[in-house]
Every structure is written in C-alpha cells, then in structure tokens.
Chains A and B, each alone.
Chain A
Amino acid sequence: MKCDEMTLVLDELLDGGLDEASEAEAQAHLEECGVCAEAYRSLIDLRNGVEDLPRSIEPLRDLWPEIEAQIAARKVARGAFGRRALMVAAAAVVLVSSVVTAYLVGRQQAASTVVVAPAPRQVTSEVLAASFAEIGVHDYEATRNQLLDVLDGRRNELSPATMEVVSANLRLIDEAMSEIADALGKDPGNELLMRRLVSTYRQQVNLLERAAVLPREI
C-alpha cells in the first residue's frame, strides 16, 4: 500500500471498517512508514481527546418549567388524567378561555379607539393554581399570555388577511370552549367532555404557536 492510498484508509482503519486482508496490509504499512504512523497516531490522539470531552453539559437554567407548560397544553386526556385532574383542567381552561376572549375584545377595542389599556386578564385563583400544580402543570397561564402577546406583537408583520383568519379561528375555538364548559355545567364530570375541553385547549395553543412563527408578510 502506498502513502497516498493510506490517507484514505486511515479513517477506516480507526473505525474498524476494513476487512482482514486490508487491515493487515494497512498495519504492515504503518510499521514501515513513519509519516503514516504519525498521521495515525494523531488520529488516535484526536479520538482520545474526544473521549475526554464532557458527555453532559448542564444548561444555564432549568428548562423544565417551560417544557412542562408546553406538554400541559398538548395533553389530550385519554384516560390518563384522574377525574379530579380533569375537573381542574376543565375549570382552568374555562378561565383561560375567558382570558382569550377578554384579550381579543380588548384588542379590538384598542384598534378602534386611540390608546386603550389592554383588557385586564383574569388571574388564576390560588386554589386552582395549587390544584394545577398537583397534576404537574405550572405557569400554564403565563405561557398562554406569552403566546397571545406574541401574536399581538406580530400585527405589524402579518397581513391583515392572515391576522383575521387567525383571530377568527381563535374566536371559534373560544366559543367552542364556552359551549363545552356550559355542557359540563349540566353534566359535570363527563369524561368525554373533559377530554374534548382539553383537546380544544390544545388546538388553541397549537394555533397560537403556529401564528407566533408564521413568516413575515409585511
């Protein structure tokens, strides 16, 4: 084997990709050729250096709370939720639903008048927040408000047509959530309704998230 052939083969040799005969040939060459042996040694050194690299690097901050919020929004209860958790989720979604309506109404008013402060957003009650915490959902409302803020912030980037489609469909989902909440009022604890409420909530978050990353049109 010649030296120029060796350069191509060294990687394969290191990675164990050569058949017996080729490997023997390569080893034989390395024993005779100082240049190639040196090159191979530096490959080994590189590999050793890589083995020294830390396998694990902790992020600067705990990312779990944000992951959890996104998970909570996407969860569709398929019997995984306990009954109590579903009730809590349902109540919370109704609350959040009215947040969305208030927000959208507030924004529409803001658009038609000069400068109007945003509609006050309802705050999750402490009991509700604590119950949410029990099923492992924290800061869901903060995430939702964040997403609504992002959408609002994009009014100057998205075309009026797109904003209208997004807003109209958000309202549609909002109305759906109210209907489900009403139905739950008449048939409390109905598991199917609970599941539907949560999946509707998921649709809303999904839409908000998509709207947040739509490409600029203006």
Chain B
Amino acid sequence: MATASAVPAGPPMLRAVSSQTQPDQGRLAARAARGEVGAFEELYRLNAGRIYALCLRMSGNPSLAEEMVQETFVRAWQKVGSFRGASAFSTWLHRVAVNVVLGHQRTTDRRGARVTAPLDDAVPERTVPAAHPGETIDLERAIGGLPEGARTVFILHDVEGFRHHEISGLTGIAVGTSKAQLHRARKLLRKALKP
C-alpha cells in the first residue's frame, strides 16, 4: 500500500507580490490621487497584465475582459483618493477588478447570455511561457469549462489567493457555499486533467 510521504499542508502561497525593483506603487498612487494622470498611467502599465489575466479567466472572453480592465482602471482613478495605503496598491486594485467582474457576471446572468467563448484564442502566445506549456493550456481550458459559480470561487481562492471570508464579502455568497464551490471546482478540475 502506497504511503504518502510528508505531504505539505498550509494555505497556497499564490498571491504573487512582486519583489522586483519597481517604483513604489504607493507613491504613484499618492500622486495619482492628486490628479497626476502620468503617475496613474504608470500604475496602469505595472498592473494591466495581472488585471487582464484575472478578467480573462473569470469571463473567458477577451474583448469583454478588455472592457472590464478599462472599467477597473477608470473606477480606480475615481477612488484613488480614498486609497489609504493600508494594503499594497495592487491588492487594492485587484479588489476593484473583482468587483467589476462580479458586477458584470450578475448582469450577464440576468440577461441569460452565458459566456461560452473558449479560451483557445486568448491564452498562450502573449503569456510568459510556463514550465509545462501543454499542461498549462489544458488547465486554463479546464478552468474555463467550470460552471460559473465554481469557476469564480476557484479563481478567487486558488489563483488570486483570497480567503473564503473575503470571497464571501466580495460575492455575497455564504462562506459555506464558497467552500463547497471550491471543493466542487477542484474535484471537477482533477477529473478533467486526469491523463
């Protein structure tokens, strides 16, 4: 009988906080709050890729994701005056993006237009090549194929690193539902990726 070797437990260390030298985003945000569009543009350049990745994975639709990115930054501009620097700017920006995406989801759901565009066109050439590109594409596709509720929670928890109580606050679903959706997503993904 196979035994498990020391299997690691613990929260996923997935919230990538860049440790490269880059201009302090907090300072840029302060300048942007005073109306400096140039500073805000720099914040855009630094964060657009990550925000787009989030929007693209959540929506599965490249042009919708572009709209969401724009909406995120426009909203961020309007609110940058209230950014207090308690967390990193990029984290704060992420929350704005998540709210934009969830807002779109609610509208889209109501109108009955389920997003079904495959991620095939959207993913690879423009991304940083992963260690195992073939597997990455499969995983992106599998995520794209999850039912919306499960996909939302999976991306927010496992990809973006939000905790369940944070997800509950953002989406309005109960913590228990969030855990159930995550469980479901992981189960479906493991099944989809089985060789």
Interface residues, chain A, CB within 8 Å of chain B? 8, 11, 13-16, 18, 23, 27, 30-34, 37-38, 40-44, 46-47, 49-61, 63-64, 66-68, 70-72, 74-75, 77-78, 80-81, 135-137
Contacts and interface: CB of A to CB of B under 8 A. Distances in A.
Contact of B14 (A51, A66, A74): A51
Q: Chain A interface mostly helix, strand, loop or mixed?
A: helix
Contacts of A72: 37
A155 B9 CA distance: 60
B135 A49 contact: yes
Interface in B1-49: 1-4, 7-12, 14, 16, 34-38, 40-41, 44-45, 48-49
Nearest to A40: B7
B7 A30 contact: yes
Contacts of B140: 53
A75 B36 CA distance: 11
For the complex of A and B, 3 pairs with smallest distance between CB atoms: A80-B35, A56-B49, A136-B37
B183 A11 contact: yes
Given A52-B135, A72-B37, A77-B35, 13 more contacts: A11-B182, A30-B4, A34-B1, A34-B3, A37-B4, A37-B7, A50-B158, A50-B159, A53-B159, A54-B53, A68-B41, A74-B77, A80-B34
Contacts of A8: 183
B128 interface: yes
Interface string B132-176: 100110011000000000000000001100000000000000000
B118 to A, nearest CB: 15
Contact of B130 (A54, A59, A67, A77): A54
A60 B62 contact: yes
Q: Chain B interface mostly helix, strand, loop or mixed?
A: helix
A63 B37 contact: no
Contact of A71 (B37, B123, B179, B194): B37
A41 B14 CA distance: 18
A8 B183 CA distance: 8
B9 A16 contact: yes
A102 B65 CA distance: 35
A57 to B, nearest CB: 4
Contact of B48 (A44, A55, A58, A75): A58
B12 A135 contact: no
Contact of A54 (B8, B36, B136): B136
Contacts of A38: 2
Contacts of A71: 37, 40, 74, 77
Contacts of A43: 186, 190
